[in-house]
Structure 1
């Protein structure tokens, strides 16, 4: 049976593609595939990860049959398991990019919010529409949207259940980059590849510092900064880039090796 999710590689860039036509719905098979692939990526992180989707839509969200089938006695365990996928994706040490070329609803958008960067078309539509089944986003989307856009925007987004364009979310600071729909997939691939071929250890350090800030504010980030900087001083990429800068100037073309 074909998996709804496939993991491929383009050199240092891992590409995770949702391909479960026609709507890339999050049913049990999709969630199982996500758990498998995120576990694999956690054990052997790439230098960058691009998440994308085949088809007309990125995802129409959760298959409503899932809600009908959940045993209330096991609901807490079920949703805790799905939240762990979000947390594991967020914890990857490499840069992560979510590509949204069109409609991106509920679980898919929650996973996008766990990524470092979101790229979209201006016309792509995003929604956390769980209110239609008298529910609330349960893969961590609400709090991660609040982190990016503020609590008032998160409440608005979830309580209204409205759909918002990529252009609007770019204004809110939720979407990081907008690309033309006619060249979207090539453009976002190049965007992610730039990260994959960059100074990987420095990117991981940046994620560590931002994570410390989010968990404990400026003082927590300050605490982890000196040992993190000391680790970078010892990396091959740093030493090579410093030497190249001194020899060639700021436009040097150092090839980073990720170590």
Structure 2
């Protein structure tokens, strides 16, 4: 059974066109003000089959064209995802495998390139493709008991939506090799110790806590958040020197934002605990 939608959500956000009904089936895209919420809703296991991948591709096109101020990725149901439908491997012609996986990797890359903060919420079992998409998000929140795995070794395969390298980016190459080569499952608490999971929430309030965590980012200084993503990406791609080379221009753009100007004025008037409402511009 799917989890109920988060109270306060709607089919659109101010300033954005209405979301086409069932456009991303079996995913649902809703909004809570500036926060977009993308929910995988394909019971009982949110398996990655042709329909799930098609829904993800369509959702990423929409969000790329209409970026929100933050995105929360979550799942309805008892588990987040059982991963790739094994029938996909059985049906895939080896001669077309490179093209097929190139297409799925583009979904990961599109999610990663969104200019807004992105949060993946994992309340339970999160395998293969779903875990790889989680690793493309800026932040991952989970329950301590949630289980994560890149278990492609069970079908003699390797993760092909970018999970291995993104895990290495977060936890180091040794940990990435361990997780992928063993195919073992790892708890959210363990991955928090590794620096892969950013925050742990209690199961009883997990969905509300994850929503509040993402909504706080959505209500923040959007231009500054986008700048932070650009600087971190430059560092990951080219080290400190590359990030330094990008930073002055990025800082210049943030300095021209109205949110920055109003926050500075509020800080001078009311101190560091000022209650500025950021408009995302």
Into which bin does the TM-score normalised by the smaller protein fall?
A: over 0.9
CA distances 1:83-133 after superposition (whole Å, capped 9, x unpaired): 000000000000000000000000000000000000000000000000000
Match of 1:79 in 2: 101
- Give the Cα separation in 2 of the matches to 1:72 and 1:186: 43
- Give the Cα separation in 1 of the matches to 2:85 and 2:127: 11
Match of 2:279 in 1: 257
Question: Residue 200 in 1 paired to residue 211 in 2?
Answer: no
Question: Residue 21 in 1 paired to residue 64 in 2?
Answer: no
- Give the Cα separation in 2 of the matches to 1:52 and 1:96: 11
* Counterpart pick for 2:118 among 70, 92, 96: 96
* Counterpart pick for 1:53 among 72, 75, 89: 75
Unaligned regions of 5+ residues in structure 2, if any? 1-20
- Give the Cα separation in 1 of the matches to 2:51 and 2:205: 31
For residues 1-259 of structure 1, the aligned pairs below 5 Å read 3-259=25-281
SS in 2 for 1:195: helix
Unaligned regions of 5+ residues in structure 1, if any? none
SS in 2 for 1:49: strand
- Give the Cα separation in 2 of the matches to 1:128 and 1:250: 43
SS in 2 for 1:20: coil
The alpha carbon displacement at 1:63 in A equals 0.2
- Provide runs of 4+ in structure 1 moved above 2 Å: none
SS in 2 for 1:228: helix
What RMSD over aligned residues (CA atoms) do the two structures have, in Å? Answer: 0.9
The alpha carbon displacement at 1:134 in A equals 0.2
The alpha carbon displacement at 1:62 in A equals 0.2
The alpha carbon displacement at 1:4 in A equals 1.2
SS in 2 for 1:198: coil
SS in 2 for 1:112: helix
Q: How many residues align?
A: 259
- Give the Cα separation in 2 of the matches to 1:228 and 1:24: 39
